Structure 1
Amino acid sequence: MKALWYAGMVMLLAFSLVSVRAQTAMEAIIETPDITFADLKTAIAEKKVTLLDCNGSESYAKGHLPGALDFTAAGENLAKLLPEDKAMLVVAYCGGPKCKAYKAGVAAAKKLGYTNLKHFSGGLSGWQEAGETLEK
């Protein structure tokens, strides 16, 4: 009887943890507003944004948005590469609208204390579809 009770408690704990993780992931999505192509282009031109390319180093080497940091290669050095001003605009992006790799960049910047985080959902594909070129 005790074994059955313990098994039930373990299952309850496991379901609770899954629920908390799902809720945390959903909150991250809700708390990361999208930036429009036009606003992003302006921020880049005015040098008022730090871009995080979250596509992986191999993709980064093939092409990325102008001035973007390679999030994967940055690793533990990300804090040194991001601006000192934690209110500075940081935009994470990945391949396109269906890609979710940007979430890792947002989470890392948020953990470091950055507060002005956005997501460019168009990603690499949206940038190119708008007629812009990638930097290599």
Structure 2
Amino acid sequence: MSKEKWMLKLTIIAVVVFGLSYPAMALLENKFEKEVEKEAGAVKLVREVQRGGYDLVTTEELKQWIDSGKEMVVVDTMPYADSYKKMHVPGAVQFLFPIPDMIAWNAKETDGKSQDDFMQLLGSDKDQPIVIYCGFVKCTRSHNGASWAVKLGYRNVYRYAGGIFAWKGAKYPIEKSE
């Protein structure tokens, strides 16, 4: 084989190897950057839970609770028309909470509804499990709702951090309100 053919083959191999490895290196770099985002989100969630004094429930756990008929109140904290009406966890009731952290300004009402309205929705049994959710992990509406429930004396409060996005991602049934 001539020297020119060898050089051509080596050039082609080099181009193919570089062409395949470059995207892999780019993906690897992106993987590290994404890990920083995941870490920030995880730490934010943990700190909210610590500050709010509630617990967490996973998608699978909530589904098992619902399937077993466990007595609880499930609260969707997103806007009625834009979200709850279109889709919510089966059996959930709606009570809108804002996205900004309510603990910082110690709110006594939200969306024109008071803490008394929220207590009426949750019921008088302070030991009954209360599950609060919003759209997804980064959404803080569920943190505000869970924090309010704890502040009002409820002792068995859970934040379903994955929210309706995780519920749908698990392909679990949803309800709609007409």
Normalised to the residue count of structure 1, the TM-score between the two structures is: 0.72
Match of 1:62 among 86, 90, 98: 86
> 1-side partners of 2:58 and 2:173: how far apart?
17
Q: Which residue of structure 2 lines up, in the alignment, with residue 49 of structure 1?
A: 72
Letter in 1 for 2:56: D
Which ranges in structure 1 are unaligned for 5 or more consecutive residues? 1-25
Deviation at 1:115, TM superposition (A): 0.8
Does the aligned pair in 2 maintain the 1:74–1:81 contact within 8 Å?
Answer: no
Deviation at 1:27, TM superposition (A): 6.2
Letter in 2 for 1:39: E
Match of 2:58 among 20, 36, 47: 36
> 1-side partners of 2:169 and 2:159: how far apart?
17
Query: How large is the RMSD of aligned CA atoms in angstroms?
Result: 2.0
Q: Which residue of structure 1 lines up, in the alignment, with residue 127 of structure 2?
A: 87
Match of 2:150 among 90, 106, 110: 110
Letter in 2 for 1:67: G
Deviation at 1:32, TM superposition (A): 2.6
Report the secondary structure of 2:113's partner residue.
helix
Which ranges in structure 2 are unaligned for 5 or more consecutive residues? 1-45, 97-110
Larger radius of gyration: 2
CA pair 28-87 structure 1, distance change in 2 beyond 3 A: farther
| Pairs within 5 Å for 1:114-125 | 114-125=154-165
Deviation at 1:28, TM superposition (A): 4.8
> 1-side partners of 2:168 and 2:112: how far apart?
24
Report the secondary structure of 2:74's partner residue.
strand
Does the aligned pair in 1 maintain the 2:78–2:141 contact within 8 Å?
Answer: yes
Normalised to the residue count of structure 2, the TM-score between the two structures is: 0.56
- Residues 6-62 of structure 1: CA distance to partner in whole angstroms, max 9, x if unpaired? xxxxxxxxxxxxxxxxxxxx8652133211222211222313221111112221111
